[in-house]
A and B are shown apart, each in its own frame.
Chain A
Amino acid sequence: MHLSGRNCFVVSYDIMDPRRLQRVHKSMKGFGEPIHYSVFRCNLTPKGRVELIAALTGLIKHDQDRIMIIDLGPADGGADDRIEFIGVRAVDSSPKAVIV
């Protein structure tokens, strides 16, 4: 169903200017979890994916920076199994009710 399911995306970026890098990092934190320097994992709906692209498009310099977005398929369809961690595991980013 195009409306509900989330896909797992790995987003990585090279930003040539430190200020822009900071802005991109801050913006990315609104979409997913940082799993490495300049690499995020985001579980996004189709709408979220378009919002991510729109947000990043407005932030980067298109002749200097580059961003790669890899779609790992449905977040609940074993996308996590296709990511292998060696060493410290990154935290899960699937949204659920927060009770503090």
Chain B
Amino acid sequence: MPDLIPARMLAEFAYCPRLCYIEWIDGEFADNEDTVDGRFQHRRVDEDTENDPMDDDLEAIHLRSVSLAGPEVGVTCRIDLLEKEGKRATPVEYKRGKAPDIPEGAYEPERVQLCAQGLVLRENGFQCEQGIVYFVRSRKRVPVTFDKALVKRTRGLISELRRAAIEKKIPPPLKESPKCNRCSLAGICLPDEVNLLREMEEKRGSEKGIMVRVRKLIPARDDYQPVYVVGHGNSLRKKGDVLEIWSRDEGRIKEVRLREISQVNLYGAVDVSTPALVDLMQRGIPVLHFTRGGWFQGVSLGHTHKNVELRMKQFEWAADRKRSLAIARSMISGKIKNCRTQLRRNDPEPSAAVLESLDRLSRDAKKASSAEKLLGIEGAAAELYFGRLDRLLKGNEDFSLQSRNRRPPKDPVNAVLSYLYAVLAKEMFVTLLAVGFDPYLGFYHRPRYGRPALALDMMEEFRPMIADSTAITLFNKRELGDKDFIRTGLGIALTSKGKKTVIGGYERQMEAEITHPLFGYTVSYRRIFEVQVRLLSRVLFGEIKEYPAFSRR
């Protein structure tokens, strides 16, 4: 039996069932201009007692912010203003906008919300025949009568929402609805993306390779930016809404506005003051800790994600070999396709044989009958791909790639690739956490202590065009040179300055805006990460059947 339904959620449900489900059942929320302004205006309404539009009636008793529950109706509510006269009560709901020019005087969600409040009031022994919507912008009171039809509709919505909550079944996205344009949850809901993928799955095969343009409801790039602090002797402090970076030798070297930070990455022994750490936690900004060499050690994070359902689904799928394999096949097939694209585009003399083999391997990966087979296919593809990658390093004859090696890397190119894969893994880790996944439980990579297996799974398809591509650009443009590497006893490592150059190149690539191969809109890679991770969650919830790996043509 789910909890009582907040009347406000019932209004959301009447507006868009999926929006309500995402907010109430999944516990997801995102702010935009409208939601922030809504809260701001509402706060002003609560404080605004001098200019009260209801004060002309001194007989009545006015109560603000009344919380009331109606277990019979199944609703709980917070009434902005309750006008009470003896046994008669009238709830008043404040809305920040203007009164709409429609016969009913107010839209259905508001009327349903008021009616639900009315039903709760009745259950609590009041007489309640009507409510009032007060539109702040037009300073207008609009009465709403709780007639038979409205009561029936309200009760109907209550039982519908209750059923959705018990069955844990997310309502489908609205189709081409103008409501999505200003919805702050569009980036979580992905209405057009999910609708498109479902349509494509219905008429599979007939339109392979066709790019369809869907509305771009997600922003092209992030409002927030990552912070990297490399090297020991640095410390982070907080001053007001600003994060200060201090160096032991040079004093304060940088100020960053906390409002604009997406994540904080600390390499080596960097101190963080407790006030800074707590503020970052409160804002939901993850602080990631790495060794000097770039090994990911852990994350400091505030309260974790509320989306418990998603984690339960993830564990269910990961325990099921067949379903895990289905996801892994898409990911690896996508990765091999991207390796092929990388060679086709950048190899000065692409080998037709290699391209054809990669094409075949990518198709084989789709059909692999076991995880072991898939691993073999991936290995074969990697060998072909890395065998050609050296030719892409055309601009800089000082560096070359003989073969892929690691732990420790034996040459500068491998050192940079290893470093970039670690940065890529943390990016995926952060994205997975933000969406509500457990990054340690994967579908392809098996769990091993401390290894973010799902992050490693999800980054497969992005390795060629983000990590490999960044490395090649950095060498070809001579942004990296001999002085950026040091020979250790065992292999080759990047210097502190070299690491910063690599991170800089990586960030340029992540912010580069590219056209999404399926959806046709232009967004940054960082955004695409989030879209892919959200699509994976849609697969686990059964909304789309197959994980659509990101692959460029």
Q: Which residues of A contact B (CB under 8 A)?
A: 1-4, 6, 26-27, 29-32, 45-51, 53-54, 57, 95-100
Contact = CB atoms under 8 A, between A and B. Distances in A.
Contact of A98 (B39, B40, B256, B511): B256
A26 B234 CA distance: 24
B346 interface: no
Contacts of B230: 99-100
A95 B261 CA distance: 9
Nearest to B226: A97
Nearest to A58: B43
Given A47-B31, A100-B234, A100-B245, 12 more contacts: A6-B223, A27-B241, A30-B240, A30-B241, A30-B258, A30-B259, A31-B241, A47-B32, A95-B225, A97-B511, A98-B225, A98-B256
Contacts of A47: 31-33, 36, 223
A51 B226 contact: no
A96 B228 CA distance: 11
B40 A31 contact: no
A27 B259 CA distance: 11
A54 B40 contact: yes
Interface in B214-259: 216-221, 223-230, 234, 239-242, 245, 253-259
Q: 6 smallest A-B Cβ distances: which pairs?
A: A30-B241, A4-B219, A46-B33, A97-B507, A26-B240, A3-B219
Contacts of B500: 99
A99 B32 contact: no
B37 interface: yes
Contacts of B242: 29-30
A32 B40 CA distance: 21
Interface string B535-552: 000000000000000000
A4 B511 CA distance: 13
Contact of A4 (B39, B223, B259): B223
B226 A1 contact: no
B241 A50 contact: no
Contact of B32 (A3, A27, A31, A53): A3
Contacts of A26: 239-241
B309 interface: no
- From A2, A29, A30, A98, name the one whose CB has the most chain B CB atoms within 10 angstroms: A98
Given A27-B240, A30-B258, A99-B504, A2 B36 contact: no
A57 B43 CA distance: 11
B182 interface: yes
A31 B33 CA distance: 15
Indicate the member of A6, A27, A45, A47 with the most B CB atoms within 10 Å: A47
Interface in B452-510: 500, 503-504, 507
6 contacts: A3-B219, A4-B221, A32-B257, A47-B32, A48-B223, A54-B36
Contact of A29 (B32, B240, B245): B240
Contact of A99 (B37, B218, B239, B507): B507
A1 B219 contact: yes
B411 to A, nearest CB: 24
A2 B257 CA distance: 22
A99 B503 contact: yes
B507 A1 contact: no
A30 B503 contact: no
A37 B96 CA distance: 35
A4 B220 contact: yes
B498 to A, nearest CB: 12
A77 to B, nearest CB: 15
Contacts of A4: 219-221, 223
Contacts of B240: 26-27, 29-30
B254 A100 contact: yes
B356 interface: no
Nearest to A47: B33
B260 interface: yes
B221 A30 contact: no
Contacts of A2: 33, 182
B241 A29 contact: yes
Contact of B40 (A3, A50, A99): A50
A48 B36 CA distance: 9
B228 A100 contact: yes
A100 B220 contact: no
A50 to B, nearest CB: 5
